[in-house]
Amino acid sequence: MQAVILVGGEGTRLRPLTSTVPKPVVPLVDRPFIAYMLQWLAGHGVDDVIMSCGFLASGVRNVLGDGSRYGLRLRFVEEPDPRGTAGALKYAEPMLEERFLMLNGDVLTDIDLTAQIAQHERTGAKATLALVPVPDPSAYGVVRLDDDRGVLDFVEKPSPDQIDTNLISAGAYVLEREILDLVPAERKVSIEREVWPLLVGDGLYGCPSESYWLDIGTPERYLKATFDIIEGNVRTPVLERLGDDYLVVDETAQVRGRAVPPAMLQRGVRVAEGAHAGSLAVLGEGVSLGEGAVVERAVVLDGTEIGADCTLRDCIVAAGCRIGERTQILEGAVLGEGVTIGAENVIAGGARIFPGVSIPDGAIRF
C-alpha cells in the first residue's frame, strides 16, 4: 500500500522548536516525530511512502534516510511553491497508484487504518476520511454523516453556528487516484475547501474512530503527546521500551538522584545527588541535572546542562541549552536550541526564547 504524507507546513506554532529543526523531525520522546507515523503506517501494510515537503525538505531527508529503518520505501517530493493540501497531492500525481492513503503529517494517532481501508472497499468510496470526536471542533474540518457513513457536509474551520457535531476529520484519508481529476494543476488548492465539498454525495465517506488522536501543532500539545506516549495512552513502539514500570534509564546514564516513572533518561544522562527527573520527564542524550535540580512534566533535549537547584516544570528545553543555578523554567515556557540562561532567573507564562539567545544572571523574574 502506498501513502502520501503532507509535511509542507512551516510549523510556526511550534516555534522556537521548529526554528532550527523541521517539524516532522522534531524529537518526540526518543525518535523524530514523523517516525511514529511511519511505524503506524507500516503496521497497516504501507510499504511505499511519499513525503510531500516544502520547508527545509533536505533536513527531513537527512534525518529519515530512505525509510529502510522503518521497513518501507521513502521518497521525497518538493513543490516549487506551497501548493496547499490538494495542490501538493496533484504535484505528486505521477508517482501515485490507483488507491493510496493520504495523511496530514502533524498528528499522533493509532487509528485502525486497516478497518478504514476495508470500509472504503465495502462502500466503493472515492475518498474515506478517518473521523474522531474532539471537544472543540472549531480548529478542524467538521463532518456530518448519514446512516451509511456517507458525508452530508464538510465544513473546514467552522464558525460556532456551523458546529452541530463533535466529529472532525482526523487528517487520514483513503483515496482513489481519480479524485485528482477534480484538482487543477499549477496552483494552490485546498483539499478541505475545494475538493471534499465537490465529493459530498458523490463518493465521500467518513469512518468514525474512538482511537487516540492528537494534532501536535502547539507546545502544549507537544507536551501532551510526550506524556501520552510515556504513559502508554497511545499505542506506539515506545511502549516496548518502557516495560511494566514505565521507566527507561539507559545503561550509560548515571543516576545519583532519582528517576520517577513514567520517565525516559537516554544515553549519557547524568542526574546528580538530590536531583530528580520525573514523573513525566524525558531527558535527551547527554543531558545533565546538577545537585538538587528538579525536572517534572517536562522535556529536555540532547546535551542540555541544568545547574544545581533548578526547577523545570511544564516546559520544553531544546538541545544544547545551559541553565544556570537556581533558575526556574515553568508554565509552558519553551527554550529554543542553544539558549543560555544565567543563574536565578524565572522563565514562565508561556515565554518562548529563540535559538541562541543569552540571558544574564538574575535578569528575569515573575
Instruction: Kindly list the residues in this chain that would bind Mg ion in the complex (CB under 5 A).
Output: 106, 215, 217
Q: Please say which residue, 217 or 257, places its beta carbon nearer to Mg ion.
A: 217
> Taking CB under 6 A as the criterion, which residues in 48-77 touch ligand GDD?
52, 54
Q: Please say which residue, 5 or 264, places its beta carbon nearer to ligand GDD.
A: 5
> Taking CB under 6 A as the criterion, which residues in 171-230 touch ligand GDD?
171, 192, 215
Q: How far is the CB of 305 from ligand GDD (least distance, A)?
A: 33
What sign results for the dihedral spanned by CA atoms 285, 286, 291, 293?
negative
Q: Please say which residue, 12 or 358, places its beta carbon nearer to ligand GDD.
A: 12
Which of the listed partners (Mg ion, ligand GDD, none) does 336 bind, with a CB threshold of 5 to 8 Å by partner kind?
Answer: none
**Do the Cβ atoms of 139 and 158 come closer than 8 Å?**
no
Q: Please say which residue, 107 or 265, places its beta carbon nearer to ligand GDD.
A: 107
Stretch that binds ligand GDD, among 39-47, 105-113, 254-262, 358-366 (CB under 6 A): 105-113
> Taking CB under 6 A as the criterion, which residues in 137-176 touch ligand GDD?
140-141, 156, 168-169, 171
Which of the listed partners (ligand GDD, Mg ion, none) does 82 bind, with a CB threshold of 5 to 8 Å by partner kind?
Answer: ligand GDD
Task: Give backbone dihedrals phi and psi of 143, rounded to 5 degrees, phi first.
Answer: -135, 130
- Give yes or no for residue 85 binding ligand GDD (CB under 6 A): yes
Query: CA-to-CA distance for 175 and 311, rounded, in angstroms?
Result: 49
Return the C-alpha cell found at 212. Answer: 487516540
Distance spanning both ends of the chain, measured CA to CA: 53
Choose among 126, 86, 130, 103: nearest CA to 40. Answer: 103
> Residues interacting with ligand GDD, by CB under 6 A?
6-9, 52, 54, 79, 82-85, 88, 104-107, 140-141, 156, 168-169, 171, 192, 215
